[in-house]
Amino acid sequence: MTTLFPLHKTARPALALLGLGLGLAGCQSNLDATAPAASAGPLDFTSYVAIGNSLTSGYSDGGLYNEVQAVSYPALLAQQFGTTGKGPANFVQPAFSSAKKDGSGYIKLQVVNGALAPVVPSAANSYLGEQVAYTGANPTFPSELEAYTGNQPDNLGVPGISVLSASAKASTVPLIAGAAQAYGTLNNFYQRLLPPADRGSKDYVTYIGQKNPTFFTCWLGNNDVLTYATNGGVVDPANPFSNMTDTTSFGRGYRDILSTITKAGTVKGAVANIPNVTNIPYFTTVPVATVIAGIKANPALPNAAGASLYITTGTGTVREATSADLLTLPAQSVIGTPSTTNPFPVGVGYSATQANPLPSKYVLDATEAAAVVARTAQLNTIIAKTALRFKVPVVDMSTFFTSIATRGITTNAVNNSAAFVTGNLFSLDGVHPTPRGYAVVANEWIRVINNYYGSTIPSLDPNIYRGVLLP
């Protein structure tokens, strides 16, 4: 080789270098290769069964409908379990037929008199144009919903069900135990899941005992305090399940449920406890201070500066509301409205005469709120003890939701909070999550299941799922 390189030779290494460079340019780093693979660990999700109430069923915006049912947290969990290769091939939800996809109907945000307002579907407004599933066979509530006719589903969530109403063994009071047994005639969401022959006789625990899961989740107990709380602490004499459940009955019922679904402790799963209901938008969206400030600034009200908001407490006392009293979401549309005896400006709750206080069912007064919080803590203790006995982890939704209420939760650059409408997580009923809220809930289940069992189930990107839709 000569020391002097003619050009046509010397140019070659340079061109080869350029070629190598262009080759490198096509290289995309593979970060997936370095990430931990999805693994079920010791778990088997091939027959995953979810038991619970409205939260489990995928209830949102005050109704059960196909769109949100499809993104209920059990459906999202089943989807993520599937990534481990040991997931259910087909997670069956008791969906409504496509022509009646809007199920029980759901609240929509609409512009009413120039302002945004959640509008509840009803026969009077033609169900807001929704394709509802009421059959009309039972005109008084609960009106019958289109029956689900497939095989017993895997998502067994029944809106409205409590531990007390789920197990005929929970209460020793014959009326209550009997009502639990005949729950299929009392709750249209349970009714639609049962064959007609079972509706008056099969309690929920017997119904879930028909399944043979390899893994289960259970989130029950909320309605043992929530039904009472959302009704402003007013017990409905016609509804045996409308009071707070006593701890003895709750313990018996919860043990019955876990014993049945775990097949006496042999099936793995996870349970969730009861969030503090006083943190949810249903009780936080209408603060007493804001209402009182509004009354005092109302130019239509005589002597407005001296006026205030008056409520009827659970004991029947009429008094001025304080910041320790929690007004319910429906109270918003009641306060200040005229009645036959007190036409506006002396509307409901306004003080001028104290003769027209806000009815008790629209306010969870300070005493009632404290009782609900105390009972929730007691029931959560029972849930923890029972879970320990059946060797399943507890997803501490109480702590989780308190954290969200305090700090919010950020998902990929989106700030979510417990605020009504603007917070993305709670739907228009102020109690149940939006699809995004359900995804956040599913991630918390996954986190706890992974921690407890050593599995590596991947979590979800909640931003894929919607918050509240705006008109």
Partner 1 sequence: MQVKSILLAGGALLAASSGAQASGFQVGLTGQKNVAMGGTGTGLYLDQASQFYNPGAFAFAPTGFQVGGNMAIPRISFRPDAADQGQRNLQNTNVFPFSGFIGFGPKEGKWRLGAGVYTPFGSEVHYQPGWEGRYALTDINLRSVFVQATAAYAITPQVSVGAGLVMLAMGSVDLQRDIPLQAQGSTTPAHAQLTGNADHKLGYNAGILFKPSEKLSLGISYRSAIDAHVGSGDITLTNLPASARSNFSATSFDVTLPLPDVYSVGLGIRPNDKLTLAFDANLVGWSRYQSLDFTYAGGVLGGAATSSSKREYQDALAFRVGAQYKITDNFTVRAGTFYDMSCVRDGFVTPETPDADRLGLTAGFTYAFGQRFGLDASFLFEDFMKRSQTQDDLISNGTTDRVAGTYKTTISVPGVGLYMKF
The least distance separating partner 1 from the CB of residue 222, rounded to whole angstroms, comes to 26
Closer to partner 1 at the Cβ: 307 or 457?
A: 457
C-alpha to C-alpha distance for 346 and 353, rounded to whole angstroms: 8
**Upper half-sphere CA count for residue 269 (Cβ side, 13 Å):** 31
Size of the residue set binding partner 1 (CB under 8 A): 53
Residue from 424, 437, 445, 448 touching partner 1 (CB under 8 A): that is: 424
- Residue (265 or 454) nearer to partner 1, CB: 454
Stretch near partner 1 under the rule CB under 8 A, chosen from 19-27, 98-106, 177-185, 369-377:
19-27
Is residue 104 within 8 Å of 133, Cβ to Cβ?
A: yes
Q: How many CB atoms lie within 10 A of CB 188?
A: 22
Stretch that binds partner 1, among 34-42, 168-176, 193-201, 243-251 (CB under 8 A): 34-42
Q: For residues 135 and 146, is the Cβ–Cβ distance under 8 A? A: yes
Residue 294, φ and ψ in degrees, nearest 5: -65, -40
Q: What are phi and psi of 456, to 5 degrees?
A: -125, 65
Nearer to partner 1, 76 or 257 (CB): 76
Distance CA 422, CA 432 (A): 14
* φ/ψ (deg, to 5) at 118: -75, 125
Q: What are the CA-CA distances from residue 240 to residues 162, 229, 365, 422 (Å)?
A: 11, 15, 22, 36
Q: Which of 1, 2, 29, 151 binds partner 1 (CB under 8 A)?
A: 29
Closest CB to partner 1 among residues 122, 410: 410
Q: How far is CA 261 from CA 21, 256, 387, in A?
A: 61, 9, 12
Minimum CB–partner distance for residue 4 and partner 1 (Å): 6
Contact between 355 and partner 1 per CB under 8 A: no
The tokens for 88 are 């259910």
Stretch of 189-197, 234-242, 249-257, 454-462 contacting partner 1, by CB under 8 A: 454-462
Q: Is the peptide bond before 142 cis (omega within 30 degrees of 0)?
A: yes
- Answer yes or no whether residue 334 interacts with partner 1 by CB under 8 A: no
Q: CA angle 211-212-216, nearest 5°?
A: 90
Shortest distance in whole angstroms from residue 108 CB to partner 1: 7
Site for partner 1 (CB under 8 A): which residue of 2, 140, 340, 412? 412
How far is it, in rounded angstroms, from Cα 332 to Cα 291?
Answer: 9
Q: 318-327 b/e with 16+ CB inside 10 Å = b?
A: eeebeeebbb
Considering only residues 1, 89, 99, 115, which one is a binding residue for partner 1 as defined by CB under 8 A? 115
Among 7, 175, 197, 238, contact with partner 1 (rule: CB under 8 A): 7
Q: Does 124 bind partner 1 (CB under 8 A)?
A: no
Cα–Cα distance measured from residue 35 to residue 38, given in angstroms and rounded to the nearest whole number: 9
Here's the x/- map for partner 1, 250-289, by CB under 8 A: it reads as ----------------------------------------
> CB neighbours of 431 closer than 8 A, spacing ≥ 6?
226, 230, 280, 281, 282
With 0-12 / 13-18 / 19 or more C-beta atoms within 10 angstroms meaning exposed / middle / buried, residue 30 is exposed
Binder of partner 1 out of 1, 2, 14, 300 (CB under 8 A) = 14
DSSP calls for 241-263: TSSPPPHHHHHHHHHHHHHHHTT
Interface with partner 1 by CB under 8 A: which range of 24-32, 46-54, 180-188, 218-226? 24-32
Among the listed residues 265, 415, 451, 454, the single contact to partner 1 using CB under 8 A: 415
At a CB cut-off of 8 Å and minimum separation 6, what does 349 contact?
Answer: 291, 309, 310, 311, 334, 335, 336, 356, 357, 358
Residue 414 within binding range of partner 1, rule CB under 8 A: yes
- C-alpha span between 217 and 225 (Å, rounded): 20
Site for partner 1, residues 362 to 401, rule: CB under 8 A: none
CB-nearer residue toward partner 1: 3 or 266: 3
**Listed ranges 17-25, 154-162, 224-232, 273-281: which one lies at the site for partner 1 (CB under 8 A):** 17-25
219 forms bridges with which residues in the sheet? 52
x/- mask, partner 1, residues 72-111, rule CB under 8 A, reads --------x--x------------------------xx-x
Q: In angstroms, what is the minimal distance from the CB of 30 to partner 1?
A: 7
The contact mask relative to partner 1 for 148-187 (x = CB under 8 A, - = no) is: ----------------------------------------
Instruction: Rule CB under 8 A: choose which of 443, 445, 448, 453 binds partner 1.
Output: 443
Q: Does 458 bind partner 1 (CB under 8 A)?
A: yes
Binding site for partner 1 (CB under 8 A): 4-5, 7, 10-11, 13-14, 17-18, 21-22, 24-32, 34-35, 38, 80, 83, 108-109, 111, 115-117, 410, 412-415, 420-422, 424, 443, 458-461, 463-464, 466-471
